[in-house]
Amino acid sequence: MNFLSHYYLDRIKNNHYYNAGLTLPDLLGFHKGRIRLTEKTILQLQNLNMNNDLLNGMRAHLKLDKKFHTSDFFKKNTLLLQSMFEANTQHNLSHFNCHIILEMLIDKFILHRNPEIAKEFYEVYSHIDFNVITSTFISLNDFNKQNMFDLLTRFSQSSYIGEYINISAIINISNIVSKKFNKGNNQLDRDNTKVFQDFYNQIENEISILLAENKSAEI
């Protein structure tokens, strides 16, 4: 769910297909068939002579995800969030929710320090031919070209990533994603705002260090 973090950390100036590729592995999760990209899948697509910039962006996404999800930062802070939530609400917060909320809070941090970056992120899609993207995945099982085209259109015309700056929006999106994937808690409410804000305040400096250590973007 941290579309913005991938863009912030790994974007290449004016390479729009590469930058779009940075977001596609997560976006494909919302495709009707919930396609999961792997390095093997990307290699197969590369052998079909698909857009290399797009594929390299997706490959960079997978590489960063692997590093992040095995990091001490991720392990420690998903457990911390679970602990703080339980202590404050007497309810359990699933690992799934901890995972996506932590990722969205990193995007929140980026938005605070780069208020224009969400607009810049969405502008990438104004330079993209969606048919190039849909044609890239046409050989995959369960891929629906029209469904993906419609998904890309809705995503490019939305502005919800900019809303990550608000904890209430993060709670709402967490509920929507949990319900869609039938995982975790999908009944979080505004009463939980304080615990998430307190958690964010506690890890804010760690987020800053994490981003500084992983940034490779060409500005």
Q: How far is CA 7 from the centre of its chain?
A: 9
Tell me what the mean pLDDT of segment 118-147 comes to. Answer: 93
Output the pLDDT for position 186.
Answer: 66
pLDDT at 48 over 90: no
Can you tell me the distance from the alpha carbon of 100 to that of 208, in angstroms, rounded to the nearest whole number?
Answer: 18
- Does residue 219 fall inside a structural domain? no
pTM for this structure? Answer: 0.93
Q: Which residue range(s) make up the domain with 150? A: 3-214
Cβ 53 vs Cβ 21: under 8 Å: yes
Q: For 137-184, what is each residue's pLDDT tens digit?
A: 998 888 999 999 999 999 999 988 999 999 999 999 999 888 888 887
- Does residue 117 fall inside a structural domain? yes
Place of tokens 């939530």: 85
Percent of the chain with pLDDT over 70: 96
- Integer angstrom CA distances of residue 46 from 15, 17, 21, 119, 139: 18, 14, 13, 30, 12
- Does residue 71 fall inside a structural domain? yes
- Does residue 82 fall inside a structural domain? yes
pLDDT at 219 over 70: no
Closest CA to 193 of 115, 108, 117, 96: 108
Can you tell me the distance from the alpha carbon of 192 to that of 171, in angstroms, rounded to the nearest whole number?
Answer: 8
Domains identified in the chain, total number: 1
- Does residue 121 fall inside a structural domain? yes
Output the pLDDT for position 179.
Answer: 86
Can you tell me the distance from the alpha carbon of 36 to that of 184, in angstroms, rounded to the nearest whole number?
Answer: 19
Tell me what the mean pLDDT of segment 58-86 comes to. Answer: 96
Cβ 118 vs Cβ 161: under 8 Å: yes
